[in-house]
Amino acid sequence: MGLDTGFPSVGDLVSRYSAGERSFRGENWRGAFYANADLSNADLSNTNFAFANLSNANLIGVISDRADLSGTDIQGANLIGASLVGARLIATRMSHAKMLAVDLTNANMSSGNLSGASLVHSELVGAKLMGVDASHTDFAGSDLTNVDLRNANLCFACFRDTNLQNANLTKANVAEADFSGAINLTPEQIVSAVNWKLAKYHESFRQLLPA
């Protein structure tokens, strides 16, 4: 059930969804508990789900553009094909979330936990991931153009065929990260990171790096 937030009553979200409603734009569900809920293909644009529990929820195809999910638990949730353009995911727990083909353009995911998540073939252009824990996260085939990854934990992350044009890796920990086939990655970006000598590269790229 949702929690009483002090806002006008809008009824139980899951009950309304089960009755066929799909648009919940701009509603306030701060602190609500909807773990394991099915909200697939719902319109959650501009909603407030800060500090809510959506762990293991079915969020396939949801539209959550500009939503506030700060501090929210979406661990293990299925967000395949979801749109979170400009969403706030600050300090959000997203470990092991399924995020294939997700649009996170200009989203703020700073200080969040993405460890073990799958962000394959996703759009993260201009996203903020400062200080995020993205260890063991799969970014293969995604577009990380202009992404801010300063101070991020990228240990064992996968960047195969990932577009890293102008991505800021300053002081990011890239130990054992896989940059094989990374696109538009420069030696200057890599050497600004921490433990870059322990990362994996195609041999042709490694030859461009300092000894």
Q: How far is CA 28 from the centre of its chain?
A: 21
Q: Which residue has the tokens 């400062």?
A: 130
Contacts of 191 (CB under 8 A, 6+ apart): 209, 210
Report whether pLDDT(72) > 60: yes
pLDDT at 1: 42
22, pLDDT greater than 80: yes
- Which tens digits make up the pLDDT trace of 133-152? 999 999 999 999 999 999 99
